[in-house]
Amino acid sequence: MKGATIGALLLGATVLTACANNREEVVAPAPPLGPGALAGTVAADRDGDGMVDGYYTPDGTYVPFTAPPCPTPPPPPPPPTPRGERG
């Protein structure tokens, strides 16, 4: 009886070691970054409108995007002169 128990344990250990998998899994490389992407950051949509408003750095700091100032509008056209074609 003792020999059968030891034999069963050895057989079980042999079967389990045959199923063991020591290979390392192959991980696919990350896709390339798109234009304007910052490596190591996470995009943030704070107001929920679907547009990215800024990004979070790896240490958790939120950095909002800031747009350049708008150009000044052109001056208004000059007023019409009293001279000219009359109907």
Tokens 């490596």, residue?
39
Which residues lie closer than 8 Å to 42 by C-beta, 6 or more apart?
55, 56
9: helix, coil or strand? helix
Of the pLDDT bands very low, low, confident and very high (cuts 50, 70, 90), residue 47 is confident
DSSP state of 82: S
Q: What is the pTM of this model?
A: 0.37
Higher pLDDT, 83 or 75: 75
Average pLDDT, the chain: 80
